[in-house]
Amino acid sequence: MGRLSGKRAVVTGAGSGIGRASAMAFAREGAFVLCVDKSEAVHETVETITKAGGRAVGMTGDAGVEADVKAYVARALNELGGIDAIYANAGISGGYVPIVEQTVEQWQEILRVNLIGPFLAIKHVVPHMIAQKKGSIVCTASVAGLRANAGPTPYSASKAGVISLVQTAANELYGTGVRVNAICPGLIETGMTKVIFDGARARGNEGKIGQLNPTARYGNPEEIAAMALFLASDEASYVNGQAYAVDGGLSSSLPFVVRK
C-alpha cells in the first residue's frame, strides 16, 4: 500500500520542476492526481505518470485567477471524487530588478501568483475538506521568505506572506481536521533558477553552487517532493501551521567564509 493510497490530490505548477516531481511522487504512492499548470507541459507530466501505472489527469489554468481555481477544484470533485490533499506550488520569481526600478505592476503580478494563488487554493478547497473532517493543504514558500538575499524583493515578500498565510489559516481552521503547512525550498535546480545555474556553469563555477549551506550542494525537485509527500500524507497527521526549510541547512547559519 502506498503512503497516499486511495487519496485524491491536486498539484499546481505540475508542468515542471517541483510540481512535476511532486505529482509523480504522489501518484507513485497511490494518489489519483489532478495536475494543473499554465503550460501545456502539464500533459507531459500526466503522460509520464500514466505510463508508469499511476492515475492522473491534467488541465491548464492560472493558479492566481479565481475562476481557474474554481475550475480545478470542480474538476477534482467531479473526476477524482473529492480532494484529500492539495499542493499549492505554482509560483514565479520575477527576476532581479533593483528596488528603485521595480514597478507596482511587477509586485502585483508576483503577489497574484505566489500569494493570492495559495490563498485561493485554501479558500476553495477548505469547505470540502471541512465537510469530510480531514484534509492536508501544502503551500510552497521559500527560504527567501525567512531571510534576505535568497531571492528578489517582491518574490521574497510574497513567500514571507505564504508563511504567514499557512500559520493564520491553520489557526482559523482550528478543530476542523484540516491541516495547512508550507515548504521553504533552498536553492533547487528548476526552470525558475535556470539563469543562476547557467551563469555559474558558463563561468566554470558549477562546483560552488550551494556552497553556502552545510550540505555543500544544491537540491533537486525530488527532495522537495519528498517533503510535500510527507505533509500530504497521514504520517504528518499532527503537523500543522508549520513552514519547513528544505535547504541543505542554509537557513540555520549566519553568513560565513568557506574554509578549505
CA distance 23 to 31: 9
CA distance 156 to 224: 18
Contacts of 110 (CB under 8 A, 6+ apart): 92, 93, 94, 154, 155, 158
Q: Judge whether 155 counts as a catalytic residue.
A: yes
72, 87, 155, 244: the catalytic one is 155
Judge whether 232 and 85 are in contact, CB under 8 Å.
yes
Residues belonging to the active site = 155
